[in-house]
Structure 1
């Protein structure tokens, strides 16, 4: 009896056989998954360190952002002063911080932005205090805020000068420092 030998089996085409240029060392996906696990994915390979963010240097955008932040912060600071009838140091620090943060985040690492942030923060604290004085004056006189602030601005400034004390100027200094440091740190 002669036994017939089974026909030789052909190798099954796989990724290497189908594409001679495929990487034979590439990780294959487990059964049922369309792609291999990605780095950082649950159950995947550990995450690689992130590449540093690209340096963004746009001083004009930083100045615009700082001006907008300073105007908004001055209004809020003025509302706080008008409502409480007191200067609040933390609010002055917040004015400086927000102004510097906006400049640094939007403008990047420009040497102009921290200095501009200090100037804008000081102006913002000053106008915030004037808004507060005008709100207090409007409550006491029965006039509207806009009448007191715009029609009697000289009276508002005189009231600010009378109420100014060393603590007022300390708030200016703290707001300037907060603006400078926030602009530097936000740009990193």
Structure 2
């Protein structure tokens, strides 16, 4: 008669307590270890958990701020665009709108501070650029009004008749005009400080 008891496990490399691989018992369909696809966890392995903070890669650095030249360039571009929008508003309504002047100043200062950082020169330059932007916006507004009255283009009024436009501005300028200039400059200074 044949013995049907399985043979006793043999020690692995001299270790009597080492586990032996399980016998398939002659089953041709038993699962055999094979290659593991990339990204899969092999059977019996512990899936990776979160990486402890001590071994985590460092966080990316914050975006660089404090570039004075880029802040000044941004303030100049925003001042020119805001002056055009303010001039269009003045020309369409035929009124100087204080909130619009404050908005021009705040946009100039905020953009400069956001891009340029906390450099104190940015707040001062933003205030000066805001004065110029509000003034230019008022000049453009007068040019729009004169272009509508004369039936010519705004560009023609501002290039060929700029002396008439500036003379009209100086004749129409009153305390409210200078108040709007001052409010725009103050808003630019404040906006630059807040954004930095």
Q: Aligned equivalents of 1:36 and 1:86: distance in 2? A: 65
After superposition, the C-alpha distances for 1:167-188 in whole angstroms (9 at most, x for unaligned) are: 111111111111001111111x
Alpha carbons of 1:85 and 1:51: their partners in 2 closer, same or farther (altered >3 Å)?
A: same
Residue 127 of structure 1 corresponds to which residue in structure 2? 136
Please give the alpha-carbon distance, in whole angstroms, between the structure 1 residues aligned to 2:191 and 2:146: 33
Match of 1:87 among 96, 99, 105: 96
Question: Which residue in 2 is equivalent to 1:30?
Answer: none
The structure-2 alpha-carbon separation of the partners of 1:38 and 1:159, relative to structure 1 and needing over 3 Å to count, comes to farther
**How far apart, in 2, do the equivalents of 1:101 and 1:38 lie?**
40
TM-score (norm 1): 0.73
Question: 1:147: how far off?
Answer: 1.3
Structure 1 segments of 4+ aligned residues over 4 angstroms from their partners: 6-10, 50-55
The equivalences for 1:1-188 within 5 A come to: 8=17, 10=19, 35-36=48-49, 53=62, 56-187=65-196
Instruction: Name whichever structure is richer in helix by fraction.
Output: 1
Separation in 1, partners of 2:181, 2:75: 17
Q: In structure 2, do the counterparts of structure 1 residues 34 and 175 end up closer, same or farther at CA, with 3 Å as the change threshold?
A: farther
Superposed CA deviations along residues 98-148 of structure 1, whole A, max 9, x for unmatched, are 100111111112121000000000000000000000000000111211111
Any unmatched runs of 5+ in structure 2?
1-7, 10-16, 20-45, 53-58
CA distance in 2, matches of 1:64, 1:131: 22
Report the CA distance shift for 1:135/1:52 in structure 2 as closer, same or farther (over 3 A).
Answer: same
| Larger Rg computed on CA atoms | 2
What TM-score do you get using the length of structure 2 for normalisation?
0.70
Residue 121 to residue 35, structure 1, CA distance change in 2 (3 Å): farther
**What stretches of structure 1 of length at least 5 have no aligned partner?**
1-5, 11-32, 40-49
2-side partners of 1:158 and 1:35: how far apart? 77
After superposition, the Cα gap between the structure-2 partners of 1:53 and 1:132, relative to the gap in structure 1 and judged at 3 Å, is same
Distance in 2 of aligned mates of 1:52 and 1:101: 23
